[in-house]
Homo-oligomer: A and B are copies of this chain.
Amino acid sequence: MLDLDSLFNLSYGMCIVSSKSEDKVNGCIVNTVFQVTPEPPMVAISVNRGNLTWDYIKDSGVFAVSILAEEAPTLLMGKFGFRSGRDFNKFQDVQHRLGETGCPVVTDSVVGFIEAEVTDSVDVETHTIFIAKIVACQCLCDDKYPMTYNYYRDVKHGRTPKSAATYHETKE
């Protein structure tokens, strides 16, 4: 039995993954970020190979993960989740700063961030899993809650783009 709705029972957090290429920056929303090892602290993310952010991570070998708070506005989610950085600069009009890796870190509507250097990657069909060593991480707000994927879908009634790892037609 393959009841794909059951996959919505997996829990995730909502993040903006960002990277750089020369003097350009870009980012996209992913819900697939997990810590792989505690020592050294390493993280894995899955990014669609069609995303401009994928090009930038491949090019620079570094990325940042801005962990979104529940209060993150729909406009921010839409800008990073449904539009392409090939058409405009997503970080214009978004509060951010460049981190230690040079990747942009969102500083508004987030609970913290991670910066990491890619050590390995695996192509999986339409996506690539990037495995990376954490080189910087910080809490940015202790009184906010991280936005889970369930919160995004159930409370904010957010949609999922076709490029996402967890997209499927049944419930969208």
Binding site for B on A (CB under 8 A): 1-7, 9-13, 15, 31-42, 44, 46, 67, 111-114, 119-120, 122, 124-127, 129, 131, 134-139, 146, 148-150, 164-168
Contacts and interface: CB of A to CB of B under 8 A. Distances in A.
B36 A4 contact: no
How often does this chain occur in the complex, in copies? 2
A160 to B, nearest CB: 9
A150 to B, nearest CB: 8
Given A124-B42, A125-B42, A129-B129, A148 B11 contact: yes
A38 to B, nearest CB: 5
A60 B12 CA distance: 28
Contact of A127 (B6, B36, B67, B168): B36
A113 B10 CA distance: 9
A11 B10 contact: no
B122 A6 contact: no
Nearest to A164: B38
Contact of A120 (B35, B111, B122, B131): B122
A124 B10 contact: no
